[in-house]
Structure 1
Amino acid sequence: MMSQRNRLSSILLLLSASFVVLQPSYVYAENERFIMISHAPDSDPWWNTVKNAVKEAGDIMGVEVLYRNPASGDLADMARIVEQSVASNPDGLIVTIADFDVLKKPLEKALRKKIPLITINSGTHQQSQALGALLHIGQPEYQAGYGAGQKAKQAGVSHFVCVNHYITNPSSVERCQGYADALGIKLGNSMIDSSQDPTHIEKKVQAYLRRHPATNGILTLGPTSATPVIRLLDKIRLAGKIHFSTFDLSDEITHAIEQGSIAFSVDQQPYLQGYMPVVMLALYKRYGIIPANDMDSGPAFIDKNNVNSVITLSGTVR
């Protein structure tokens, strides 16, 4: 005859088996398709980390994610890509708000079609809400620039140049403005439109330093402008003698931090900007689940004290 203890064990086993059977399976619609559209030109290596994150998230969530961008970084071209993408009726859109006014009209069509939208990288939380996005994932650029400026002020920077390689993107100006405000200096001519050509950047910064010999601080806005400035400071023997900070990471930037020619980098953790929107769109489409708040992916500051923790990950997940 079965004892009370054995009877209880049998009941618990049956309940456990029933629980496993009743658990909801991993459900998703076949052929789910998301499109990510960035403002980045093909020449910008920073976006490789975002692309890596998109691919991994797409594989894990079982969804196709197409990455599209204007080859030259032209914002009118980006707006056309958004219109084409909306017309293809994807299951979700991920878009950078490179210019709110340029992108507002094509994204209104996505809202009317009830295509779920998550904004990333450029733009503000307020702009994201105005576009009808579910949420925004990115770095508050003015605050990030302000934080960089505070560090520069502590280091004694009193005259600076902000090397802006993508001046048509309002977020880039916010970085320079925040930096200037933290230093208590008017931005004015301290921000230069450097273009994206490495040789031109190097020449333009060198010319600025010749005209403004009191400059003791340089801020670049990413690898596109940072790499030529690293080369320039080596050539004119100012590496490590002038306070040099930058946004974002690359092999060249992490090496320069390690060597002491760059004081720090402002890392907006781009992997989060690629990975999280794919996961969140998938959860929203399948279960109606979405975080109640936006996500600030940065700023995080990388300097000599912590560069070794990211140096082997540069260009892949950092």
Structure 2
Amino acid sequence: MTQPHSIRTLVSLVIAIILLIVVSPSSATPHRRQDISDAVTDIVSDPTNTAGVEVTEVVDTNTDALDSEPAGVSVTEFATDSVLETDTDSDLENVSDTGSEGTESDVVRIEVAESNGASESTESDYLAESDRPLRFAVVAHSSCEWDESWCEYERAMERSAETFDVTLDFYSPANSTDFTSLGVFLDEAIDSNPDGIALTISNETQVLEGLTRAKEAGISVMAFESGPELAYSPVLKGLYLGRFGMYDYRTGLLLGQVLAGEAELANFTSDMATGFCINDRPTVLSSNERCNGIINAFNSSGYSSTELNFTYEPEGLVADRIENKDQIAEMVNEAKENGFQFFLIAASGDKGAEAFYEYMQESGLVAYEDFLFVTFGSSEAVIENILTTNQTAGAISDQPYYQGAGVINALNMNVRYGIAPVDELHETGPIAFDAEDANKQVGDYYIVDGPIKLIAIQHGSCEFSEFWCTVENGIHNASTALGVETDIRFSTFRDPNRIDIAQLVEDAIAEKPDGLLVTIPNADALRTQLQAAVDAGIPVIAYNAGDSPSSDKIDYLTLIAQDNYLAGQVAGEALVKAAQEKGLTGKAVCISADPDETNLNQRCLGFEQVVEAANFTHVRVAAVGTDEELDGVVADYYTNYSDTDIWLTATLRLNNAFYDLIDAQGLTNGDYDFVHGAFDVDTKTLQAIEAGVTEFTVDQHPYIEGYDAVAQMVLLLRENVIPATEFLPTGPGLITAEDVPEIEALAGMYRRSVAT
């Protein structure tokens, strides 16, 4: 049998394993980028090696540009309350993603302003909503008044509400024994006619009727902390926007697997060891899901298990802990009587952990020799226990502050600007920590006490592109609202005085900012410099362009951008449908830009996967150069392949080249037998959609990319809130003709910038 000190050595790996298995996106969805990047390399470098993909001549009209990084530097001075007027010719927009698995079931349309729980607003509605004070109702199963662990949620909500000029009304039970009145509180909140509702879904049945009422009343609802995985909850699907929190069942399952694995490594057989899950909130969905996962993991590993559901007394939390401590003692003593020598114990939350600590004061059990204990939660009691005793091997946090701030921000964006969350679950955890990490929880980590200075480095600029004006609006508005200074620097081909983007990163490192925000159009060209920034202790967040920290092989924190592979699939599905409705069944083309831009290749790859499945032959054209040269590439393709049925242009500049082709050929709506889809938003593209020339454009929400890059960095620097995933998606969404009035209503700041 393994000795106790060896168990301690083994368990030191538990938190690292959880971080690798639970936090990594690849644990749930195979990371597609590695396979796709190989395919892209094959297609671009050897057009004969297409693996079923027909590729036209790769047109390179600017070979010097391909051999070097974009260069150029300038600092855009941009007042928050001003709108820059720019040329309608837009710079090359490069956006990347984590390349999530492109299965057919993943392909979903996300209509702008037509989200799960959003109200249907008119142009005047959004203009009015964007300025006036708002009021949100917070309906929750717990309260800071009697649950200390809940104070972090409310503190974050209140600070976020103050930032966005929002008033909050709280609806919650009066004590820990009342878990049945959530539906009543939700009804009261709806009757008050708030602008939005933040809701914990502790019980689906209790809130079903209320959510239906809110939907009918046009009240946007966003969930946090507790709620179902919507993919498996058809009853509630479509009734609210999404949830801030974590995958509770999946996290519990993996945590249980790790604990069972530790017992096996220590040679504790199933007749020697047993598992417990302390369910401290048996009437709350998230707590039940965590214990369900843990128990299933124990059982599937061959260990017997017991779920202990706490009971609660009207006298309050102190009486609860005494009662719950006795319940734990009874559970462990019964297991001892059945001959078990070692106990795998997990608690579903802070209250379960605190009751376990009460029990430990009189149990006589020795950590690692008699038991292994882990818990969900990051309360002061849990952190203190990890730091001062050996009782808790580690803990899992779903970052309450992140949830509270995030749910108010998401409601604000939806109500004011019609922007709905892309994912049904915005993951705020799991964040696993042990004694070393607990020191950071109460220490300085990245925390900045004084003024915060950020540097943002990007491969485009408002000075040359109205698309980037919208990104920069987000950066500047977030900086103003959150009280930080952000210096925007750029490197673009269109700037004659450009400086290499890698040099901009090196210069930024020398200035030692509190945080670095950066677009990563080419990870190979920036890897050395960005890793140097991370190694120098500067936190780095990527936005708009990149892949993911693991795929880019750079230790930045997260990427805030569109999922471009999915965007290509969504575009492909919409274009195939439009083509088939016109009786078109032949050839499709994706016109992209620099073949070295992985993000743009992702768009084409997703598109090609869909059109190939629909039996369209497909080609890809890569074009680099001036606007005139791009016009020539598109015109040459049309001359040689005028029988193409489906056209997809992957950047704004290529959209405009396509429109120049339409004008040059004298074509009007109905004069041609093909359909066209676009990417991104500018004046010409919206006009083409209204005119019926373009079916749609794929929107990556550039305002959110800029805003959230700053907001995520400030959460880290002020509250030690860590991005829980490598990728925070901002798109895709489809803008069709019916959506154009809404986009135009918000032109100038939030959805696109005004051009002349």
SS at match of 1:310: helix
Range moving further from structure 2, 110-119 or 189-198:
189-198
Q: For 2:688, which of 237, 250, 256 is the aligned residue? A: 256
How many residues matched? 297
**Inter-partner Cα distance in structure 2 for 1:314 and 1:180:** 32
- Give the equivalent residue in structure 2 for 1:197: 626
1:166-181 to 2 correspondences below 5 Å: 166-181=594-609
Separation in structure 2 between the aligned mates of residue 248 and residue 314 of structure 1, nearest angstrom: 14
* Aligned-residue offset at 1:308: 1.6
Counterpart selection for 2:677 from 242, 245, 261: 245
Aligned with residue 577 of structure 2, among 133, 154, 178 = 154
The one-letter code of the counterpart of 2:702 is: P
Name the amino acid aligned to 1:195: V
| Deviation digits for residues 247-295 of structure 1 (CA, Å, limit 9, x no counterpart) | 1001111111111111000000011110011111112111112342332
Which residue pairs with 2:458 in the alignment? Answer: 38
1:296 aligns with 2:719: no
Q: Report the counterpart of residue 209 of structure 1 in structure 2.
A: 638
More deviation, 123-132/101-110: 123-132
Aligned residues of 1:159 and 1:216 also touching (Cα < 8 A): yes
Q: TM-score under structure 2 normalisation?
A: 0.37
Deviations 1:193-251 (A, max 9, x none): 32242222222211111101211222112222212311321331444333111110011
- Residue 169 to residue 200, structure 1, CA distance change in 2 (3 Å): same
Find out whether 1:276 has 2:705 as its counterpart. Answer: no
Instruction: Call closer, same or farther: CA 1:149–1:48 in 2, change over 3 Å.
Output: same
Match of residue 82 from structure 1? 505
- For residues 115 and 188 of structure 1, the distance between their equivalents in structure 2, rounded to whole angstroms, comes to 48
Instruction: Verify: 1:310 aligned to 2:730, yes or no.
Output: no
CA contact (8 A) 1:163 1:219 kept: yes
Cα distance in 2, alignment partners of residues 134 and 290 from structure 1? 8
The corresponding residue for 2:523 is 100
List structure 1 runs of 4+ shifted beyond 6 angstroms: 23-28, 73-76, 185-189
1:52 alignment partner in structure 2? 473
How many Å separate the matches in 2 of 1:252 and 1:127? Answer: 37
Paired position in structure 1 for 2:610: 182
Give CA deviations for 1:147-172 in whole Å, capped at 9, x if unaligned.
Answer: 11111112226323322234332211
Identify the range of structure 1 (247-256 vs 288-297) with the bigger mean alpha-carbon deviation. 288-297
Partner SS, residue 731 of structure 2: coil
Q: 1:141 aligns with which of 551, 558, 564?
A: 564
Aligned residue for 2:750, secondary structure, equals coil
The question of 1:234 aligning with 2:234 is answered no
In the other structure, the counterpart of 1:267 is 699
Tell me, in whole angstroms, the C-alpha distance in 1 between the residues paired with 2:676 and 2:513.
43
User: 1:76 & 1:171 partners in 2: Cα distance?
Assistant: 22
Q: TM-score, normalised by structure 1?
A: 0.84
Distance 2:522 2:474 in 1: 24
Counterparts in 2 of 1:116 and 1:94: CA distance versus 1, 3 Å: same
Segment drifting more, 282-291 vs 26-35: 26-35
Deviations 1:123-158 (A, max 9, x none): 223547842222221111111112111111122263
Tell me the distance in 2 between the aligned counterparts of 1:167 and 1:43.
22
Question: Which has the greater radius of gyration?
Answer: 2
More helix by share: 1
User: SS at 2:459's partner residue?
Assistant: coil
Q: Assess if the C-alpha contact under 8 Å between 2:588 and 2:617 holds in 1.
A: no
* Residue ranges of structure 1 left out of the alignment (5+ in a row): 1-22
Question: What percent of counterpart residues are identical?
Answer: 28
Report the more deviating stretch, 191-200 or 254-263.
191-200
Please state whether the residue corresponding to 2:644 is helix, strand or coil. Answer: coil
CA distance 1:315–1:244, change in 2 (3 Å): farther
Q: Match for residue 286 of structure 1?
A: 718
Deviation at 1:86, TM superposition (A): 1.5
| Deviating more after overlay: 115-124 vs 75-84 | 75-84
Look up the match of 2:538. 115
Deviation at 1:73, TM superposition (A): 7.0
The separation in 2 between residues aligned to 1:173 and 1:312, in whole angstroms, is 32
Alpha-carbon distance in 2 for matches of 1:96, 1:128:
15
Secondary structure of 2:703's aligned partner: helix
User: Which 10-residue stretch deviates more, 191-200 or 101-110?
Assistant: 191-200
Distance 1:184 1:61, change over 3 A: same
RMSD: 2.9
3-state DSSP of counterpart to 1:34: strand
- 1:97–1:123 Cα contact (<8 Å) kept: yes
SS of the residue corresponding to residue 118 of structure 1 reads strand
Question: Taking structure 1 as reference, are residues 230 and 177 closer, same or farther at Cα in structure 2, changes over 3 Å only?
Answer: same
